[in-house]
Structure 1
Amino acid sequence: MTSSESHASTDGPIAGEMVRHGTGVNSNRAFPTESYPSSLDPFVLFEQFYIDPTKGFPMHPHRGFEIVSYMIAGGMEHEDSLGVANTAYENDAMRITTGSGIRHSEFPADGQACTGLQLWVNLPQAEKDADPDYVDASADSLPTEEQDGATVTTVIGGDSPISLHTPMEYLDVAVADTWTWSVPEGWSGFLYGVTGSGTVDGHSFTEGDVLPITDARSVALQNDESLRVVAVSGRPHGEPIRQRGPYVL
Structure 2
Amino acid sequence: MLEIRRSAERGHANHGWLDSYHSFSFADYHDPKHMHFGPLRVINEDRIEAGQGFGAHGHRDMEIVTYVLEGALAHRDSMGNGSTIGPGDVQRMSAGTGVRHSEFNASKEAPLHLLQIWILPQRIGEPPGYEEKRFGEAEKRGRLRIVAAPDGREGAVTIHADASIYAGLFDGPERAVLALAPGRQAYVHLVRGRLSVNGTILTAGDAAMLSAVEAVTLEQGENAEVLLFDLA
TM-score for both structures, normalised by structure 1: 0.79
What is the CA RMSD across the aligned residues, in angstroms? 2.5
State the partner residue of 1:129.
Answer: 125
Q: 1:45 to 1:201 in 2, by over 3 A?
A: same
Q: 1:145 to 1:200 in 2, by over 3 A?
A: closer
State the partner residue of 2:6.
Answer: 15
Q: 1:145 to 1:206 in 2, by over 3 A?
A: closer
Shift of 1:29: 2.1
1:30 aligns with 2:23: yes
Question: 1: distance between equivalents of 2:178 and 2:104?
Answer: 34
User: AA paired with 2:101?
Assistant: H
* Matched residue SS, 2:114: strand
Indicate conservation of the 8 Å contact 1:184/1:216, yes or no: no
1:168 aligns with 2:168: no
1:155 aligns with 2:152: no
Shift of 1:23: 8.3
User: AA paired with 2:118?
Assistant: W
Q: 1:144 to 1:135 in 2, by over 3 A?
A: same
Corresponding residue pairs, total = 220
State the partner residue of 2:189.
Answer: 192
Segment of structure 1 superposing worse, 62-71 or 151-160:
151-160
Question: 1: distance between equivalents of 2:126 and 2:54?
Answer: 24
Among 71, 96, 113, the residue aligned to 2:93: 96
Question: 2: distance between equivalents of 1:72 and 1:41?
Answer: 25
| Pairing of 1:70-109 with structure 2 (within 5 A) | 70-109=67-106
User: AA paired with 1:51?
Assistant: I
Shift of 1:21: 6.8
Shift of 1:201: 2.4
Indicate conservation of the 8 Å contact 1:52/1:108, yes or no: yes
Deviation digits for residues 100-146 of structure 1 (CA, Å, limit 9, x no counterpart): 1111111111222111221111123xx31111111111235x99266
* Matched residue SS, 1:31: coil
User: AA paired with 2:19?
Assistant: N
Among 172, 196, 206, the residue aligned to 1:209: 206
Q: 1:50 to 1:35 in 2, by over 3 A?
A: farther
Shift of 1:14: 1.1
Unaligned segments of structure 1, at least 5 residues: 1-9, 236-249
Shift of 1:27: 2.0
Unaligned segments of structure 2, at least 5 residues: none
State the partner residue of 1:245.
Answer: none
Question: 2: distance between equivalents of 1:170 and 1:103?
Answer: 24
Shift of 1:200: 2.0
* Matched residue SS, 2:208: strand
Shift of 1:41: 1.8
* Matched residue SS, 2:183: coil
